[in-house]
Amino acid sequence: MNENEIMQKLALAWATEVFRKTYLEKLPADCHRLTDSEVSDSLAYFRELYQEALNIYSSYPKHFFED
């Protein structure tokens, strides 16, 4: 696995966990289905989290991602 793949996996894992804790857990208990607008908003939020994580990991020294 190369350094970009490692960064992408780390960013995806981080974004998924943050999204789950900051968005999904705050949905009302009786919410069974999101509206189209909520899906669009949540997708945009997840993309922002993922991009933020990629930017952070991209700033790390390359040797950090070596085996």
Q: In which band, very low, low, confident or very high, does the pLDDT at 3 lie, cut at 50, 70 and 90?
A: confident
* Model pLDDT for residues 11-58, shown as the tens digit of each residue: 999 999 998 888 877 777 777 777 888 889 989 999 999 999 999 999
Using the predicted structure, report yes or no on whether residue 65 has a pLDDT greater than 80.
no
How confident is the model at residue 59, as a pLDDT?
A: 92
Tell me 29's DSSP state: T
* pTM for the structure as a whole: 0.79
Total length of the chain: 67
> What is residue 8's predicted lDDT score, i.e. its pLDDT?
93
* Among 23, 1, 22, 10, residue whose Cα is nearest residue 55: 10
Say if residues 52 and 22 touch (Cβ distance below 8 Å): no
